[in-house]
Amino acid sequence: MPETFADPPVIDEVAWSCAEGERVLEVWSTSVTAGGMLWMDDGERRERHPVPSVAAEADDSADYLRLRLELIEDPAMVELGTSSAFLCGEAITRQLYLTSQAQQPADCVVDPDFPGIDGLGPCENSWL
């Protein structure tokens, strides 16, 4: 029997903060996810961080994802999913993709001037 999945998730709300030595991204979706991926870019370098699901509803009707990144000054010391060298106040652009349970890109939000990412296709939803 084939495996069944919840409906593909849609981003319902996004909260982004940067203070006291950390960046925090919180995402609420309309269905359970297989996590997400955040890209940040300043025109010279790019960071990519997985965004884990931390509180999915038992009936798969919603999901909450959270990423906390410690801010560090040396880009060479950045650890995926743990730290970022993009400090508060720096001009960066962001793109966030959610992944469905079927491991397919499901929904995204993007800053209007974010450079494209090869292989992901366009993301036309402006950052919420």
Query: Over the stretch 38-63, which tens digit does the pLDDT of each residue have?
Result: 999 999 999 999 999 999 999 989 99
pLDDT at 34: 92
Return the structure tokens found at 101: 């349970």
pLDDT for residue 21: 94
d(CA 53, CA 39): 17
Percentage with pLDDT > 90 across the chain: 59
Q: Which domain holds residue 68?
A: 11-110
Is 123 within the bounds of a domain?
Answer: no
Count of domains observed in the chain:
1
Kindly compute the dihedral angle of the four CA atoms of residues 20, 14, 36, 45, in this order, to the nearest 10 degrees.
Answer: -50
Confidence band of 37 (pLDDT split at 50, 70, 90)? very high
Token match 């300043």: residue?
42
The least confident of 25-34, 89-98, 100-109, 113-122 is: 113-122
CATH number for the domain that contains residue 26 = 2.60.40.10
